[in-house]
Chains A and B, each alone.
Chain A
Amino acid sequence: MPYSAEPVMAAGIREFTFHDGGGPVLQGLDVAVAPGSLMAVLGTSGSGKTTLGRLLAGWLPPGPGGNLIGFLELTGTRLQFNGDAGDPRIDPAQWGRQVGFVPQDAGAVLSTVRATVAEELAFGLENSAVGRTAMVAAVEQTAGLLGLRNLLGRHPARLSGGQLRRLAIGCAIITRPPVLIMDEPFASLDAAGARELGDLVRGLVKAGTAVVILSQMVDGVLREADNWIVLADGTVKASGTPAALEAGSPAVLAGIRRIKDGPSPGGVAPVPRSAGHSAPALELRGVSFGYRKDGRPARQGFTWQRRQGSRTTDNQSTVLQGIDLAVHPGEIVAVTGPNGAGKSTLLRHFNGLLRPTTGTVLVQGEDISGKPVGSTAAAVGLLFQHPREQLFERTALREVRFGLDRLFGQDEAGERASAALAAVGLSAAAHEQPAELPASRQRLLALATVLARKPAVLALDEPTVALDGDGLAVLDAAVRSAAAEGAAVVLVTHDLGYARSAAHRTIALDAGRLAEA
């Protein structure tokens, strides 16, 4: 329950605009956060959540970051901004001591020059000259809170997505700021990770921290929030207690995913197709794979272990073991498993980005070993886990067109690109810079790049992460229509609800082995 104390942080935003000459990104928005309370800022992709979070956290300081008319208040000090040269300047370091921020891209908070998780955690303390004994104690305590104790000696670059997010949260709370703001902290966490994060948030709130969570999805701990603010088009659409808003008009929460309702707009699982009659579009036979200790893949023909005829040794960590899988045209198969189970590694075998240590991958009956990835890509469309790794062009349209010219010729390439953009609802964003799109639209754009090729095999890595309700509906429709047109679809997800509703069959990947779920 919130203390009846003065808010530790407040903002009154009459208007906030970027320096790009566009219209206001935020307007008519009042926020006040009490110590020991939890607030959820909900909104669909592009509603202004991230901008609000960065503004409150001092990552987007008024002045250099954009033009603010209004005020920001922190621990009793109010800064008034009129959008002119006389405005006060925020010192990000001073602000950062009071407000911890975990951005959506957790990896971005890392200093990149610290060699272990422990040192990365200590970075903020080092900069404020905390003594070493106190630092060691703080690192121990924070690591304990976040379940990072066993990883303290590991290089931050070697963490999985879920572990990286926990480290980013640790970096934000180790200095014990009275306010903690997290942007989409639940995206990319599996069920266990989300539960642990929920417990952590409850603990922080109990200890008096004001926690603000920005999310396009209502899940677990957010239902226990003291209040919700629903954002749309940069302004407050509604605010109140979770119970009041959930009981109110459904239009208020439109587009926000609510896990309790079942994540799929389609609801019921599609009817299994008579898949057994045709030859598989994708087949894995006895595929095993491991990374060597130095982090490189142990490739066929390259490992001395193979030449010695031994199985995996201490020098190699096994990720996949004897995987057999056949996916037929028109079939949708979901592969589930916890964070770090090797799901992404499995998908990267489908087009040859990773080559099996032993075993064979066949696409449309043909062994792809020795074929360049670029050739296999004509038949296999791969949606990466992180859309930012997949998008590299200057505009959304160019992005979708990349490589299509060579396959289909100029005219058809243009048509296909426009059609794919329309299919994911991004026609209006054709000339926007992909890097500047909100996360949900980045994923849909990445999906469009895959759909435009109409591949025989569609491999999707965590496609639901970062999607809001509307985005999920687009994804679901696209997957179903691709399957209906005869594509074999494999989707890897930790979202069990979505897996069950979208797939003909669900397979669990655990400890490197596949089992029908």
Chain B
Amino acid sequence: MRLHPLTSLAFAGSTAVITTAAASWPVSLAVGAGALGLSAAGGTARRLVPAAAAVLVPLGLSLLIVHGLSFPEGRTVLAQFGPARVTAEGLAFAGERAAQLSAAVLALLVFSFSVNVPDLVAALASRGVHGRFGFVLASTLTLLPAITAQAGRIRQAQESRGLVIRRGLLHKVAAFRLQAIPLVLSLVEDAGTRAAALEARGFSSPGPRTSYREVPDSAIQRLLRMLLLAAAAAAVVWRLWLAGTGG
């Protein structure tokens, strides 16, 4: 069965919420591993892992510094540097939070790397979400490839005129410096023409819209989405109730 984009969004969203609410090591690890597995099966792991690392490594490190080094409730001191104490409890807390966060981030990334953007935009449009919002959403996901392609074309033009780009990150960064200004200029110019074209094609007209693309949906998927949302809401209520009773 092909999942409706809103069903996969509901899956990812409720998974993130429930994992956060559960605040349990095994649940977080299982969800994280599951997300990685799904991504590998879907062939998106290669793009997902670097993106996840870019988000999670700095967050994980900051958690470790904040909680690992100064955790007031910590009793088992493992090491001490002046006022900073590394405690077993602090490390455990930081680890738990990092695992929780990783699970939530991975679940959402699996969704964003696997979702069919045109399907998502069409699904939102058919639910009355304004075309402009759908366009912005779609653009955020198509913009990076478009910019990369344009930068590539400029680089080829410059190489054809004698720019030698040697191997290695530093050389590439130095070469990109030359491409930055033309890139921005050409993007601005493109945006101007495209804006005129979009206006002329009625993109900003008020009023209802229809969608050419049909996104298959089913009663089961609609029911599933309701259940997922209900489960997420229940998890939040449960968590708040626990906090209220001091649990």
Contact = CB atoms under 8 A, between A and B. Distances in A.
Interface of A: 54, 57-60, 92-93, 95-97, 101, 103, 105, 108-116, 118-119, 122-132, 135-136, 139, 171, 351, 353, 372-375, 377-378, 380-382, 384, 388-394, 402-403, 406-407, 435, 449, 453
Contacts of B200: 57-59, 92-93, 95-96, 101
B161 A112 contact: no
Contact of B166 (A58, A139, A372): A372
A123 B209 contact: no
Given A372-B164, A382-B160, 9 more contacts: A92-B200, A112-B139, A113-B117, A113-B138, A119-B118, A126-B210, A129-B209, A132-B212, A351-B159
B118 A115 contact: yes
Output the residue of A384, A392, A403 with the most chain B CB within 10 A: A392
B73 interface: no
Interface string B156-177: 1111111111100000000000
Contacts of B207: 129
A93 B199 CA distance: 6
A393 B118 CA distance: 35
Interface stretch (B45-53, B86-94, B102-110, B181-189): B181-189
Contact of A388 (B118, B158, B186, B214): B186
A169 to B, nearest CB: 13
Interface in B109-163: 116-118, 121, 125, 131, 134-135, 138-139, 142, 146, 153-154, 156-163
A402 B157 CA distance: 11
Given A123-B201, A126-B211, A127-B201, A108 B190 contact: yes
A195 to B, nearest CB: 27
B194 interface: yes
10 contacts: A59-B196, A110-B197, A113-B117, A113-B139, A127-B201, A130-B210, A372-B164, A372-B166, A373-B159, A377-B163
B207 to A, nearest CB: 6
Rank and list the top 8 A-B pairs by shortest CB-CB distance, nearest first: A392-B182, A374-B164, A96-B200, A403-B162, A127-B202, A122-B212, A92-B199, A113-B138
A433 to B, nearest CB: 9
A392 B157 CA distance: 8
Contact of A109 (B118, B160, B166, B197): B197
Nearest to A135: B212
Contact of A112 (B146, B156, B157, B162): B146
A437 B6 CA distance: 47
A118 B118 CA distance: 13
Interface of B: 116-118, 121, 125, 131, 134-135, 138-139, 142, 146, 153-154, 156-166, 179, 181-182, 185-186, 189-190, 193-194, 196-205, 207-214
Contacts of B199: 92-93, 96
Given A112-B146, A393-B182, A131 B210 contact: yes
A324 to B, nearest CB: 24
A135 B210 contact: yes
Contacts of A171: 201
Nearest to B204: A93
Contact of B159 (A57, A95, A377): A377
Contacts of B204: 93
A388 B182 CA distance: 11
Contacts of A116: 118
Contacts of A114: 118
B212 A125 contact: yes
A84 B48 CA distance: 55
A294 to B, nearest CB: 11
A131 B163 CA distance: 53
A349 B217 CA distance: 48
